[in-house]
């Protein structure tokens, strides 16, 4: 079988060799090959992708490591799988991902101005080896190819094709569209698809001044289709298209200055279409006559990658790069419709950010990034637009504790829940299917700490519910299980001070915490404040009293003491 015959010639030759060796029986099972899609681009030498295992199959999990030109791992590099951002590499340069259940997957890694693209070709074992209960023998078991098993593309860049199925080129006056039909065999009966590829940006002759390039185009089709974006002969993005007019935007970090060529390829049904090749230039020389300060002020400090277009759901992902060189801002702030959604610190060089945020309202939105120094705004990006659509705003319910499978000694259990809602709601807590707490009307974000006595020991389950006052909709959390016991018999814990619900001024000495642990054997204990372990130690048999002063910020805090003997826990 010829794999990937729509590729450029050198990749096609590799695919034919794979098929040939497969015929010799050198590849008897599922296998993968990693091929370069970047050609001789200098950036290919900047980053390197190394798979940790050669046994990668479609639908399985795989791990790779990204190394720089010095051979050291590259952390926080952005990873794209088949054009969709999948996350960033770890501190050791590793990234684990789920391999799509397909014959090919494109991996792209971007770190600053460096990037690398690799194509993972996945071929399954012969059909006779994979399917159970299927008869073998006869002509169909010999592996003989029929006429319709292969596709031969004989067209050239001008839209010409040889043979009986010659198709004329449909070129528009814009110069940005070429429709080239590709047929399969002599018995072609499927209707021809209508595809128009237009509005390519950058267009022919454009000069861009940033390594972070945006590729935009539109595709009109009368059927569902898929697209590939090809830069300098390499696939940098792919995705699906719906019926009608589709607007697509792809960002990619160019590896070098000078001339580049790109085009769009579309597969619709059994036909292939491609735009004309578009040449453009990258010139990052900044040969302006102004001062260095004027160059710094005019330089692009924020490159926004997304969200853009139409987003379905409540959690769009905001992805952007900040070039802090020469600006020395301390932090960034992301604004949606003029309101800050989240913020974070900045380093001295390039910072890449990718973070989800909840958008409650449907419709059109604008977002921008401000760079701050000492709380003062020193740079603002342009506004970027996107739209969200959902049937109604969500209510987010987060179960904090007790955790799944947690074992608790004693009958009293503290249930810790937080709720984030865009409108008024009523809150309910269910334990073992029974409503054990029903709140009055609340709004926006609200934390709950509810203590309830469990009359029986053993396994229990719990969940939370919020009912929207505006719409009457019901939002349920997931369900968790925990267990209670009358006593582990090895220790008791008493939280002396502060009591549950206590409040007051911490004063100059901070808040005093007092607790007692009576151990009947050697145990380990931890004092936990707001989810962080503040004190821990190994205790011998006997009564142990503790008193500590701690500085706290204003607001609500939660604390507890956990004691373990290796097999049981007292909390």
* Fold equal for 295-389 and 491-570: yes
- E strand or H helix at 570, and its extent? strand 569-570
Closest CA relative to residue 372, chosen from 339, 346, 396 = 346
Tell me which of 321 and 488 has the higher pLDDT.
Answer: 321
DSSP 115: E
Q: Name the CATH topology of 295-389.
A: Immunoglobulin-like (2.60.40)
Tell me which of 183 and 387 has the higher pLDDT.
Answer: 387
Residues 83-99, buried b or exposed e (16+ Cβ, 10 A)? bebeebbeeebebeeeb
Q: Assign domain 491-570 to its CATH architecture.
A: Sandwich (2.60)
- Cα gap 201→501, rounded to integer Å: 61
Instruction: Say if CB 160 and CB 153 are below 8 A apart.
Output: no
Q: Does domain 9-137 have CATH number 2.60.40.10?
A: yes
CA angle 91, 306, 178 (to 5 degrees): 115
Residue 184 has pLDDT above 50, yes or no: no
DSSP 508: T
> Could you please report the per-residue DSSP string of 449-483?
EEEEE-SS-EEEEEEEEEEETTT--EEE---EEEE
- Cα gap 41→24, rounded to integer Å: 34
Closest CA relative to residue 476, chosen from 399, 407, 389 = 399
Backbone torsion region of residue 59, taken as left when φ is above 0, otherwise alpha when ψ lies between -120 and 50, otherwise beta: left
Which residues lie closer than 8 Å to 545 by C-beta, 6 or more apart?
514, 515, 516
Instruction: Say if CB 497 and CB 512 are below 8 A apart.
Output: yes
Q: Which of 26-40, 459-473, 493-507 has the lowest mean pLDDT?
A: 26-40
**β-sheet with 569-570: strand ranges across:** 532-539, 523-529, 559-564, 569-570
This prediction's pTM:
0.28
- C-beta neighbour count of 190 within 10 angstroms: 10
Summarize the confidence of residues 385-399 as an average pLDDT.
76
- Torsion sign over Cα 338, 339, 341, 344: positive
Summarize the confidence of residues 132-161 as an average pLDDT.
33
Quote the tokens at residue 453: 């006595």
- For residue 567, what pLDDT is reported? 53
Closest CA relative to residue 368, chosen from 389, 340, 345 = 340
- For residue 188, what pLDDT is reported? 42
Tell me which of 351 and 162 has the higher pLDDT.
Answer: 351
What percentage of the chain carries pLDDT values higher than 90? 3
SS3 state at 138: coil
Tell me which of 401 and 156 has the higher pLDDT.
Answer: 401
Q: Name the CATH topology of 396-485.
A: Immunoglobulin-like (2.60.40)
What percentage of the chain carries pLDDT values higher than 70? 71
pLDDT tens for 518-541 read 888 888 888 888 888 888 889 888
pLDDT band at 264 (very low <50, low <70, confident <90, very high): very high
Residue 3 has pLDDT above 50, yes or no: no
The bridge status of strand 474-476 relative to strand 271-274 is: unpaired
Summarize the confidence of residues 389-407 as an average pLDDT.
77
- Cα gap 120→3, rounded to integer Å: 12
- For residue 81, what pLDDT is reported? 83
DSSP 43: G
pLDDT tens for 422-455 read 777 888 889 888 888 887 666 656 677 888 877 7
Residue 469 has pLDDT above 70, yes or no: yes
Quote the tokens at residue 102: 């397909």
Which residues lie closer than 8 Å to 65 by C-beta, 6 or more apart?
49, 50, 52, 73, 89, 92, 93, 94, 95
- For residue 511, what pLDDT is reported? 87
Residue 215 has pLDDT above 60, yes or no: yes
CATH number of 174-184+192-282: 2.60.40.2550
pLDDT tens for 531-569 read 888 888 898 888 899 988 888 888 888 888 888 876 555
User: Rounded to a whole number, what is the distance in angstroms from the first to the last CA of the chain?
Assistant: 63
Residue 349 has pLDDT above 60, yes or no: yes
Q: Domains of the chain: which residue ranges?
A: 9-137, 174-184+192-282, 295-389, 396-485, 491-570
Whole-number mean pLDDT of the chain? 72
Burial (0-12, 13-18, 19+ Cβ within 10 Å), 345: exposed
């Amino acid at each position: 079988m010829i794999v990937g015959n729509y590729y450029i010639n050198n990749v096609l030759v590799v695919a034919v060799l794979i098929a040939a060796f497969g015929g010799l029986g050198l590849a008897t099972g599922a296998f993968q090959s990693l091929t370069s899609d970047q050609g001789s681009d200098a950036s290919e030498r900047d980053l390197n992708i190394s798979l940790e295992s050669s046994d990668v199959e479609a639908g399985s999990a795989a791990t790779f490591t990204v190394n720089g030109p010095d051979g050291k791992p590259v952390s926080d590099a952005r990873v794209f799988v088949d054009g969709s951002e999948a996350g960033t590499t770890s501190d050791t340069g590793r990234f684990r991902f789920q391999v799509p259940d397909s014959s090919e997957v494109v991996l792209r890694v971007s770190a600053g101005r460096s990037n690398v693209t690799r194509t993972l070709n996945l071929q399954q074992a012969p059909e006779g080896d994979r399917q159970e209960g299927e008869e073998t023998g006869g002509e169909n078991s010999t592996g003989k190819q029929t006429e319709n098993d292969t596709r031969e593309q004989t067209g050239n860049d001008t839209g010409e094709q040889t043979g009986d199925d010659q198709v004329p080129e449909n070129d528009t006056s814009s110069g940005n569209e070429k429709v080239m039909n590709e047929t399969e065999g002599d018995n072609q009966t499927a209707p021809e698809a209508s595809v128009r590829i237009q509005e390519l940006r950058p267009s022919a002759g454009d000069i861009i001044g940033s390594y972070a390039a945006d590729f935009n185009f539109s595709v009109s089709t009368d059927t569902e289709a898929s697209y590939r974006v090809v830069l300098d002969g390499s696939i940098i993005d792919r995705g699906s298209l719906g019926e009608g007019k589709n607007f697509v935007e792809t960002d990619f970090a160019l590896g070098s200055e000078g001339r580049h060529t790109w085009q769009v390829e579309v597969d619709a049904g059994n036909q292939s279409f491609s735009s004309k090749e578009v040449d453009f230039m990258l010139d990052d020389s900044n040969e302006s006559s102004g001062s260095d300060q004027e160059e710094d002020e005019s330089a692009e400090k924020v490159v926004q990658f997304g969200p853009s277009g139409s987003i379905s759901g409540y959690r769009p992902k905001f992805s952007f790069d900040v070039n802090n060189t020469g600006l020395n801002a301390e932090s960034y702030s992301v604004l949606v419709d003029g309101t800050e959604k989240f913020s974070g610190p900045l380093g001295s060089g390039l910072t890449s950010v990718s973070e989800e945020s909840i958008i409650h309202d449907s419709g059109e939105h604008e977002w921008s990034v401000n760079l701050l120094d000492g709380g003062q705004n020193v740079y603002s990006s342009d506004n970027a637009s996107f739209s969200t659509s959902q049937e109604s705003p969500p209510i987010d319910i987060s179960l904090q504790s007790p955790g799944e499978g947690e074992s608790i000694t004693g009958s009293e259990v503290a249930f810790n829940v937080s709720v984030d809602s865009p409108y008024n709601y009523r809150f309910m807590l269910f334990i073992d299917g029974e409503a054990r707490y029903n709140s009055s009307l609340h709004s926006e974000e609200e934390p709950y700490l509810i203590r309830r006595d469990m009359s029986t020991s053993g396994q229990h389950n719990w969940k939370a519910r919020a009912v929207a006052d505006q719409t009457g909709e019901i939002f349920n959390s997931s369900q968790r299980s925990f267990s209670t016991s009358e006593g582990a018999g090895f220790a008791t814990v008493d939280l002396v001070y502060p009591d549950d619900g206590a409040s007051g001024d911490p004063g100059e000495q901070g808040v005093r915490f007092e607790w007692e642990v009576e151990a009947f054997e050697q145990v380990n204990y931890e004092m936990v404040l707001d989810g962080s372990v503040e004190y821990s130690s190994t205790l011998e048999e006997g009564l142990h009293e503790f008193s500590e002063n701690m500085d706290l910020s204003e607001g609500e805090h939660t604390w507890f003491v956990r004691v373990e003997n290796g097999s049981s826990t007292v909390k």
